[in-house]
Structure 1
Amino acid sequence: MNIKPRRFPAQPGRLSLALVCSAMAPFTLAQEAETQPMVILVKGKPSPLENAEQLPPSVVDQLRAATSDTASLLRDIPGVSLNAAGGVSSLPSIRGLADDRLRIKVDGMDLIATCPNHMNPPLSYVDPSNIGQIKVFAGITPVSVGGDSIGGTIVAEKSEPEFAPAGESALNKGEIGAFYRSNNNAVGGNLNATHATEELSIHYSGSWSKADNYTAGDDFKTTYDSGRPGHTLPLDEVGSSAYKTQNHTLNLAFKAGDDLFETQLSYQNMPEQLYPNQRMDLLDNEQRLINLAWTRQTDWGHLETRLYHETVDHFMDFGADKRYWYAMDSMVMGDAINGYPCTVEGDYDPTCAAGMPMYSESENTGLSLKADIVLNPEQILRVGTELQRYRLDDYWTASGGGMGPDTFLNINSGQRDRAALFTEVETEHNRRWTTLLGVRYERVHMDADEVHGYNDTKLNQGPEAAAFNAQDRDQSDDNLDLTALARYRHDDTLDIELGLARKVRSPNLYERYTWSSWAMAATMNNFVGDGNGYVGDIDLKPETAYTASVTFDWHDTDRSRTFRATPFYTYVDDYIDAIALSSWTDDQFNVLQYANQDARLYGIDLSMHLPLVNNAWGVWGLDSVINYTKGENRKTGDELYNIMPLNGRFTLTQQKAGWDNSVEWVVVGAKDDTSDVRNEISTGGYSLLNLRASHSWQAVRLDFGIENLFDRGYALPTGGSYIGQGKTMSMNATPWGIAVPGMGRSAYVGVNLRF
């Protein structure tokens, strides 16, 4: 590998079963409701069994002033929770399965996090202002929309291209917006502009945002120290939670009869995104992307071909709240000598390390061909093939002192290639029964070149590298997915959906090819935010999940009232969990290794929409979502990591004369069931109150609100361990047992002008 170092600028109560009962109380069996099923539009026939929850555009419009994190838009989707990370990069979790266990498609592309801490997940490349629609397939995912995953699929798409109406010479339109949030002084703006004729559409979208560290609702820690002389943080400030980012996208579309040709050019420059639950910070991330698509609508159905290529250059080091200078003693991290920089009697100490530069570079190329074929008025056949070629180099250049003289090769020329074929058929048998049956085959091939450490004579780097290099690193998996869905329409007020699925996911490159158990190196490989270090295993087997679920949808005949309940059960063979190495200790951070074990997850999702009253004060309604998931390791009896406890959202809505207002009550139970092997931190229950309001005129939209109205202090149940400040390179120099807190009270305002 050709190494090219680059320079960069440097408590309260528990949620009880009463909440579930209160949500169900307004309903009788005859009038209980369902959510209107989502449909794929195929020329001549809709698809009633897509089995997805779609985020309404009105929700996207209202929340984009309150958040710059696109994943957080999914907070009201049943079964979805968020694993906290950076300010714009939280990881969605579906029924306890997150990150690479989900298939996240952005504009038809399968994007991959290029970072040993997964700081650049797929949704971090899309600003909320540029979202056209988001759909979530929970658990039972049709084979046509997701492979190489076991938890579900999230499909995010920008707006469809617009063309001038027939007979008009041109369409010119746009939107400009800005927002401000008080807690972390977040500011940002967005611009969208379209010029189109009847055949050609040119659309630009751009966004920019930045924020300081946010503050919690109380003093959650006991130290002010940042590890840098003269720099301290208040006890309620969440260190390493600031960010800066900008995104630009240019879309060109050409329409010729039934054919549509699209070219998308995207660029992201993220100069900073700091992480309160990681030992490193993102200090530069550049993504360049081209996405080409050709779609054709025909009398027999729909054809789509897509080709994309993405490059990512990612850089990490210590941000402003984490110690930068370390004295080195046989590669063991010590205290800085006489302040900043490391000096001995006024002279620079040559044994001092200046940070820890880490580089990740990747290329991601994909090709897909899909066809929806209308066999007859009652049956659709979907067939397709997908190819993906992914290349990754992850290397850490020496930063002085005892760290060197070589570059640490974390993953050297990593390869992960996928080839997939799928077919599924959807059949409307009669008025009551509709079924969907699908099969998908994937071959995943992985490999990596030989590695070495900074210095093969120190801290077992040489023997571990030699052992890794001696292994057969060429691995291939043959994976088979099966999905069966059926909908039974009992009567005009009750639908029942049943689903069975077998889904398979191969390990990612970091799970298979990270090789060093040296504590400092291992802790830099961690994409779950628990503060521990992780070592890979070349011989990991793919995860195979068997899922069963049933959904009961009650509704009025006009669907004004809806209630939906989905119990589910998933058993995972060869679940990739963690095992302790010989030096494991309770109540501290440890080095762990990925290992195949078995696991099960089960629970229930509930959702409801209930109109209340229509009076002189407006149209009133109540929406609620309640989620419960339990996850267990069947081999050890341990709890699975980062499982969200019982939680609910209850929203009172009011609409009148251009106003769209809501009061949201968020209730989360205590997290007592924690992963022992990871020393996961327990968290208390809490409740929050959020206020939101918006008003729309002909060309202007105004949004404002207050999150966490009463400034409650609380810990995030899936936020991981707080290691956002201090001496984070040393495994246990940062205190164990502090959970990352949620944000305190924050008022926000946003305005958008259409022209």
Structure 2
Amino acid sequence: LALAAALACALPAWAQHPSPDDTLSEVEVRERTAPGAATVLDGAALQGQRAASDDTARLLADIPGVSLYGAGGLSSLPALRGLADDRVRILIDGVDTIASCPNHMNSPLSSLDPSQVARVAVYAGIAPVSAGGDAIAGSVVVESAPPQFASAESGPLVQGEAGATWRSHGGRSAHLSASYATESLHLSVGTAQAESDNVRAGGAFKTGTATGRAGHALALDEIGSTAYDTRNHHLKLTYQGSGHLLEAQVQVQDMPLQLYPNQRMDLLDNQMARFSLRYQGQTTWGQVQAQLYRETVDHFMDFGADKRYWYGAASMQPGSSDGQPCAPAGSATCAAGMPMRTASQTTGARLQAEVERGPDQRLRLGAELQRYRLNDLWPASGGGMSPGTFENIDQGRRDRLGLFAEWEARLAPQWQLLLGLRADHVRLDAGTVQGYNPAGGGNQGRDAAAFNALDRQRSHTHWDWSAQARHQASPTLDLAFGLARQTRSPSLYQAYPWSTWPMAALMNNFVGDGNGYIGNPDLTPETAHTLSTTFDWHTADRRHGLQVTPYLTQVSGYIDAVQWNSASNSARTTPLVGQFTTLRYANQSARLQGVDVAGHTDLGRNAWGRWQLKGRLSHTRGSNRSTGDGLYQIMPLNAQLALTHQVGGWTGTAEWVLVAAKDRVSRVRNEVRTPGYGLLHLRGSYRWPRVRLDFGVENLFDRLYALPQGGAYLGQGSTMMASGTPWGVAVPGAGRTFYAGVNLSF
């Protein structure tokens, strides 16, 4: 922060730009129409989505090019044009976030409630270097509400909001926030809570009701392990004066429960604390921004209520699911669940200066630093999981230093240009490990010894660049062009899980396909070259418009997987088909190509109100160029059409969602094919000056359908064993769901 203040006061004279006067205006955030502009959601665009779900990622669902990997009820993962999870950079109030779990159950967007989101910007495919780095899919930038200060005439400003939502599957949520502000100080505090029972599908999708627990069964249409319970709190203190703004923020999450229908484990406790200190200064030559942050996560997993808890010598045999505790409990032949604990600390800093050279040129210079530490340990629980602690990742370290420069210019009234260059240095390392028992099953001793003998430190240097241009060809046609190189190093969970023991490998899976995964310390970075073009046709008044964006991404070093033989510790020569298996991460080559289409038309405005038709269509094809296989969890051709009616405070929407059958799948993962489907949703809202009412029904006709990106159904049964749950069942979508929500502002 001291460096930022010094930079604001002492930038060399060549960067100064004359100003009509020497006074400094108040700090402001300005939207720019730039070649690298993001798709932005705020205000009313977010309000209607908040009532439909407690999952913050669902706020992005209507953006062309965005789809959602299914996970827990709060933790969907956004995929940008076929690339998801760690390949997407997610910033929350400037904090660069990382999932600290072998199943990525604490995904970044699950750390805040939808009611706490005021603005979302999505850079799909190509992100400017100032918003990218160590990611190849693009970026998602989430901001909470900006501070509002009182005027000298009005006196202190007191504001707040309270809201509650009900859903027919047992979902309930509530939030409360309040703020107090003077001319120079702003204090805001807020809390939100959400919980839900299991969701039901639109019909029977499975053949068994057993959960592996005596006396506990699930109906054939009940989607096991979809319940959750979470609380999110925040406190923000902001000071402004003389063109400077300083903000301190604390965010805390207490999540005692989130069950997962496509994972073999469940989240049974997650504690997150995040502290951030941000500075923004306005000068005669531009702006300077600085930020420091610290985030800690304590995460615990085991089997939830819908999954088998007791495992013993007899009960670990395939087909045994009586759910009775083995005896004697806690003995060498009896295991009480499988506790898994993860702890992480992330420390980061960012400094950026934006120099304005007149109204038509801006230069951004920045530096970023992130320090990440991870311990992933599995305490002994008896049976084959004893007597010691299994160290999945011990003393994991991932450090990143990034530098970037970005030039934005209007070369002519019809041409804008954005050029950027970025360098990142990433360093990974991990400590020595041990299994439950060096002499135990699954070659624990062999694999630990081989891993410990390795030089585990890896260093990668990324050189990224982007070139984007926007051209106004005519009053009714805008063109945008983008070409970029973007690079990402492997995560700790891709590099360092070391055990080939199938049971241990099954616990390392953040893609929800039911398979087990083994890390590979020799993975090299993924390097993506992306080309995209947008054709934007519209009327002069923009009441009618159509945007078409074809794109192509080539990825060298794409981190995919190969089937692995645990006994020989080598790649399988004959792949297993139609069953869950064990895989090891490997660098290969990939290509993703597709098109995003979005359009809107104003159907008319009369005494009955305003009628508008909006639609979008997305198609992505992903191929592994090394093997000819399909890429995993690529969303098939899908479209959405919405008819909206507005009059006074009323807004009503009828929305049709159409998804094609998913026939092209990842064969190496034995990915399940899914049939096509169509859904109808109805939504309504009415707004008074200080009250907003939202209500609706999703999946009006109660269709039974499978989620193309929902993964394999593992929501119940003996999930610790690969053969303990049936292969070939995809996670279904929710059946007919009614919801209603109310918000009161004061």
2:195 equivalent to 1:195: no
The answer on 1:274 being equivalent to 2:259 is yes
Following superposition, the deviation at residue 615 of structure 1 comes to 2.1
Equivalence map 1:124-273=2 (5 Å): 124-182=110-168, 184-273=169-258
Given that 1:326 and 1:334 are in contact with CA atoms closer than 8 Å, whether structure 2 keeps it comes out as: no
**Other-structure match for 1:452:** 434
**Aligned twin of 1:357:** 339
Contact 1:114–1:360, Cα closer than 8 Å, also in 2 = yes
C-alpha distance in structure 1 between counterparts of 2:692 and 2:151, whole Å: 25
- The offset of 1:263, in angstroms, is 0.5
- Match in the other structure for 2:326: 342
Measured in 1, the distance between the counterparts of 2:321 and 2:464 equals 57
* Distance in 1 of aligned mates of 2:531 and 2:434: 45
Q: Give 3-state SS (helix, strand or coil) of 1:55's partner.
A: strand
The corresponding residue for 1:573 is 556
Question: Residue 724 of structure 1: which of 682, 694, 715 is its match?
Answer: 715
Distance 1:43 1:367 in 2: 21
CA distance in 2, matches of 1:507, 1:645: 26
The answer to whether the 8 A contact 1:168-1:198 is kept is no
**Aligned-residue offset at 1:647:** 0.2
Contact residue 42 and residue 118 of structure 2 kept, 8 A: no
3-state DSSP class of the match of 2:450? Answer: helix
1:340 and 1:438 map into 2 onto residues whose CA distance is 61
Q: Distance between the aligned counterparts of 2:110 and 2:203, measured in 1? A: 29
The CA distance in 2 between the partners of 1:598 and 1:44, in whole Å, is 40
Question: Partner residue of 1:307?
Answer: 292
- The structure-2 alpha-carbon separation of the partners of 1:654 and 1:44, relative to structure 1 and needing over 3 Å to count, comes to closer
The correspondence of residues 29-178 of structure 1 with structure 2, limited to 5 A, is: 46-178=32-164
Q: Measure the CA separation in 1 of the matches of 2:323 and 2:231.
A: 35
Aligned position for 1:380: 362
The Cα of 1:166 is off from its aligned counterpart by: 2.7
Q: Is there any run of 5+ residues in structure 1 with no aligned partner, and where?
A: 1-40
Which of structures 1 and 2 has the larger relative contact order (alpha carbons within 8 angstroms, sep 6+)?
1
Q: Any idea what the Cα deviations from partners look like across 1:310-339, whole Å, max 9, x if unmatched?
A: 00000000000000000037x966677975
Kept in 1: contact 2:248–2:278 (CA 8 A): yes
Q: How far has the Cα of 1:59 moved from its partner?
A: 2.1
Structure 2 residue identity aligned to 1:749: A
2:649 to 655, 658, 661: 658
Q: Check the 8 A contact 2:135/2:488 in 1, yes or no.
A: yes
Q: Which residue of 1 aligns with 2:593?
A: 602
Which amino acid counterpart does residue 455 of structure 1 have in structure 2? Answer: N
Contact kept? 2:380, 2:388, Cα under 8 Å: yes
Distance 1:452 1:533 in 2: 19
Aligned counterpart, 2:502: 519
Q: Equivalents in 1 of 2:31, 2:496: separation in Å?
A: 46
Partner of 2:16: none
State the distance in 1 between where 2:347 and 2:456 align. Answer: 22
Determine if contact 2:212/2:321 at 8 Å carries over to the other structure.
no
**1:501 matched to which residue of 2?**
484
Shift of 1:402: 2.9
**Which position in structure 1 is the counterpart of 2:386?**
404
In structure 2, relative to structure 1, the CA distance for the partners of 1:225 and 1:657 (3 Å cut) is same
Contact kept, 8 Å, 2:527 with 2:557, in 1: the verdict is: yes
Contact 1:65 1:704 in 2 (8 A): yes
Equivalent position of 1:648 in the other structure: 639
Give the counterpart of 1:322 among 307, 329, 333: 307
SS of residue matched to 1:123: helix
User: Are 1:548 and 2:550 an aligned pair?
Assistant: no
Offset at 1:609? 1.4
Instruction: Quote the residue 1:438 is aligned against.
Output: 420
Paired residues of 2:308 and 2:323 also in contact (CA < 8 A): no
One of 371, 376, 396 as aligned partner of 1:414: 396
1:637 aligns with 2:628: yes
1:563 to partner: Cα distance: 1.0
Deviations 1:680-737 (A, max 9, x none): 0000000000000000112111000000000000000000000110000011110000
Question: Conserved in 2, the CA contact under 8 Å of 1:325 and 1:336?
Answer: no
TM-score by length of 1: 0.93
Letter of the 1:99 partner, please give it.
D
SS at 2:189 equivalent: strand
Q: Decide whether the 8 Å contact of 1:89 with 1:121 is kept in 2.
A: yes
Q: What residue is the counterpart of 2:468 in the other structure?
A: 485
Match of 1:470 among 453, 468, 472: 453
For residues 417 and 713 of structure 1, the distance between their equivalents in structure 2, rounded to whole angstroms, comes to 45
Distance change (3 Å), C-alpha of 1:77 and 1:45: closer
- Distance in 2 between the 1:687 and 1:614 partners? 29
State whether residues 318 and 724 of structure 2, in contact with CA within 8 Å, keep that contact through their aligned partners in structure 1: no
Match for 1:342: what amino acid? C
**Distance (Å, rounded) in 1 between the aligned partners of 2:468 and 2:378:** 47
Q: TM-score, normalised by structure 2?
A: 0.94
Structure 1 residues 593, 348: closer, same or farther in 2, change over 3 A? Answer: closer
State the one-letter code of the partner of 2:674: T
CA contact 1:333–1:729 (8 Å) conserved in 2: no
The AA in structure 1 aligned to 2:464 is: D
1:470, 1:348 → 2: CA distance? 33
Distance 1:660 1:152 in 2: 32
Shift of 1:242: 0.3
Distance 1:43 1:318, change over 3 A: closer
Partner SS, residue 209 of structure 1: strand
Check 1:398–1:130 CA distance in 2 against 1; reply closer, same or farther (3 A cut): same
Per-residue Cα deviation, 1:103-122 (whole angstroms, up to 9, x for no partner): 01100110100000000111
Measured in 2, the distance between the counterparts of 1:337 and 1:609 equals: 54
**Secondary structure of the structure 1 residue equivalent to 2:640:** strand
1:379-413, CA deviations, whole angstroms, 9 ceiling, x for partnerless residues?
A: 10011000000000000000012321110000000
Q: Bigger shift: 41-50 or 542-551?
A: 41-50
**Could you give the per-residue CA deviations for residues 544-596 of structure 1, whole angstroms, max 9, x where no partner exists?**
00000000011111222121000000000000001111364100000000000
Q: Is the 8 A contact 1:326 1:333 kept in 2?
A: no
1:293 maps to 278
SS of 2:446's equivalent?
A: helix
Say which SS state the counterpart of residue 413 (structure 1) adopts: strand
Deviation (angstroms), 1:248: 0.1
Tell me, in whole angstroms, the C-alpha distance in 1 between the residues paired with 2:245 and 2:74. Answer: 32
Per-residue deviation at 1:375?
1.8
**Could you tell me whether the CA contact under 8 Å between 1:522 and 1:534 is conserved in 2?**
yes
How many Å separate the matches in 1 of 2:330 and 2:110?
40
Q: 1:45 to 1:353 in 2, by over 3 A?
A: closer
**Corresponding residue SS for 1:66:** coil
Gaps of 5+ in 2: 1-26, 566-571
RMSD: 1.5
Contact 2:163–2:743 (8 Å) recurs in 1: yes
Q: Secondary structure at the match of 2:313?
A: strand
SS at match of 1:464: helix
CA deviation vs aligned residue, 1:193-224 (integer Å, no higher than 9, x gap): 01111110000121001000000001000000
Deviations 1:127-183 (A, max 9, x none): 11011100100111100001000001000000101111232220001110000000x
Please give the alpha-carbon distance, in whole angstroms, between the structure 2 residues aligned to 1:255 and 1:121. Answer: 33
Report the equivalent of 2:691.
700
Query: Residue 48 of structure 2: SS of its match in structure 1?
Result: helix
Contact 1:328 1:351 in 2 (8 A): yes
